Amino acid sequence: MISISDSAQDHFRRILESQGVVGMGIRLAAVHPGTVKADCKLEFCEPSDLDGREWMLECNGFKLYVDATSTQWLDGAEIDYLNSATGGQLTIRAPHIKGREPGVDASIIERVRYVLDAEVAPQLAAHGGRVTLEEIDADGVVVLRFGGGCHGCGMVEVTVREGIEKTLIARVPGVTAVRDATDHSGGDAPYIKR
C-alpha cells in the first residue's frame, strides 16, 4: 500500500490541470530496485502510455499508476509535499526499495547474493561490468563469473582480491575466499585491456 498526503495530491492535481490533457495521471516506478542505487521515478502519463498492468491509486482529481514490476519495492511508500517560502519539497520514502537484507537465519547463498546485488553489482555496472554467483563450496569459497566490461579486464584480479573478497568476508560469516571462474582470454569490451 502506498500513501500519498493531501498536500502531495493537491500539488500533483495543480500540475496536471496545467497540462490540459484529459485523463493524464502520474506514474511511479522503482529504478534499480534492490540495489544501493535504487530510486523512485515520477512522470506524467497519458492513458495511451499505460499497458494495463499498472496498479492504480485513485487520488483527489487524478490517478497515480504504479509500474507493475515496482509494486513489491514500493509497498509501504509515503509521498508527501511540504510547502515552503522557496516553493516546496516533494519527498518519497520507500523503505523497501533497496531490498531487505537477509536475516541471520538466511542461508549463506542468500546473504552472498544480497551483498553482490546491493553493493558489488552497482559498482561494476559503473564500468559496464556484471557478476554472477556460480557456487559456494563446502569450505566457504565463493566462485564468481564476470561479464560485460569485467570480462577480460586487466583489473579483475585486483577487484576480486581487494574489493569483492574483502567485502564478502567482512559482511557474510562463513565466506573464506572468492575465486573467479571466468576465462578472461576473451571479452568483447574489457574496461581495462590486459
User: Residue 53 carries which DSSP code?
Assistant: -
Report the CATH number at residue 63: 2.60.300.12
The per-residue pLDDT for 29 is 95
In a domain, 186, yes or no: no
Q: Which residues are paired to 56 by β-bridges? A: 65
Same structural domain for residues 166 and 121?
A: yes
Report the CATH number at residue 146: 3.30.300.130
The per-residue pLDDT for 167 is 95
The per-residue pLDDT for 1 is 84
- Count Cβ atoms below 10 Å from residue 185 Cβ, excluding itself: 8
Report which of 120, 122, 152 is spatially closest to residue 133, judged by C-alpha positions: 120
Same structural domain for residues 67 and 119?
A: no
Which residues, 6 or more positions from 79, have their beta carbon under 8 angstroms from its beta carbon? Answer: 2, 3, 4, 5, 8, 28, 90, 91, 92
User: Residue 101 carries which DSSP code?
Assistant: -
In a domain, 157, yes or no: yes
The per-residue pLDDT for 114 is 87
Last residue of a domain, one of 93, 120, 149: 93
The Cα 132–Cα 95 span in angstroms is: 26
In a domain, 98, yes or no: no
Same structural domain for residues 87 and 27?
A: yes
In a domain, 187, yes or no: no
The per-residue pLDDT for 96 is 87
Q: How many domains does the chain have?
A: 2
> Is this model's pTM higher than 0.85 or not?
no
Report which of 182, 177, 11, 186 is spatially closest to residue 92, judged by C-alpha positions: 11
Last residue of a domain, one of 60, 93, 126: 93
Its domain, for residue 8, covers 3-93
Contact (CB, 8 A) for 114 and 99:
yes
Ordered mean pLDDT values, 10 residues apiece, the chain (194 residues): 94 93 94 84 93 93 93 93 88 88 88 88 86 96 94 91 95 96 83 78
Q: How far is CA 138 from CA 90, 169, 172, in A?
A: 49, 15, 15
The per-residue pLDDT for 171 is 92
The per-residue pLDDT for 36 is 67
In a domain, 99, yes or no: no
